[in-house]
Amino acid sequence: MGKSSPSDIESRTDNARAPQSFYPPMSKPWFPWLMPTFVIVNVAAFVYTMYINNCPATTGRHRCVFPSLGRFSFQPLSQNPLFGPSTKTLELMGGLEWILVVKEGEGWRLISCIWLHAGVIHLLTNMISLLFIGIRLEQEFGFLKVGLVYVISGFGGSLLSSLTLRSSISVGASGALFGMLGAMLSELITNWTIYANKVMFFK
């Protein structure tokens, strides 16, 4: 048997003492279909809201923004600067109004308001955020968990709005988006060591 040189022994000793990086096996990402579906539902709800709004018939064609759009044209900017329907239409479609929930018992508005938006600007900002955050979470945790986070967070946001905004109508998916953002941040904090080790590994 051949003898190992001192340099070979030291090399094997150094390799044995070197810290071993452990990474848990990567699970196969889920196919994201729920969040894009939610986006389609929100956009469809807004288009239908604008159809019901019918600015030329209720406000006057000469006062509507982009009257060439017909009944899909927007309310005057003095009424809605976000390029959207009137407050009355949002209320009709299920917007959250405190007095209707508490006094009239219309609790369904706590859910319906999540799918409504006050205008094009409001819709675009929320849907871009939903795609950016939601698809990432759905790939990681699946549609069931992410869907529950979305609905429960949206319901919680509606409850908070009903307690604080008693003189105006509340619509939008902001509460649901904040809930999903919190879920993403909690996942990042929980697995921070894994992400930090990967960064160090590739440096």
Segment 119-169, tens digit of pLDDT = 999 999 999 999 999 999 999 899 999 999 999 999 999 999 888 887 889
Work out how many domains the chain is built from and give that number: 1
pLDDT tens-digit series, residues 86-130: 999 999 999 999 999 988 999 999 999 999 999 999 999 999 999
More confident residue, 154 or 15: 154
Range of the domain at 136: 33-191
* CATH number reported for the structural domain that contains residue 82 in this entry: 1.20.1540
Specify if 70 maps to a domain: yes
Specify if 8 maps to a domain: no
pLDDT tens-digit series, residues 21-68: 444 555 678 899 999 999 999 999 999 999 999 999 999 999 999 999
Specify if 1 maps to a domain: no
Specify if 106 maps to a domain: yes
SS (H, E, C) 27-88: CCCCCCCHHHHHHHHHHHHHHHHHHHHCHHHHHHHHHCECHHHHHHCECCCCCCCCCCCCHH
pLDDT of residue 147: 95
Rg (CA), the chain: 26
Q: Which of 88, 93, 180, 192 is nearest to 130 (CA)?
A: 180
Contact in structure between 111 and 105 (CB atoms under 8 Å): no
Q: What percent of the chain is predicted at pLDDT more than 70?
A: 82
pLDDT of residue 25: 55
Q: Which of 38, 7, 27, 13 is nearest to 150 (CA)?
A: 38
Q: For the chain, what is the mean pLDDT? A: 86
Specify if 101 maps to a domain: yes
84 has pLDDT over 80? yes
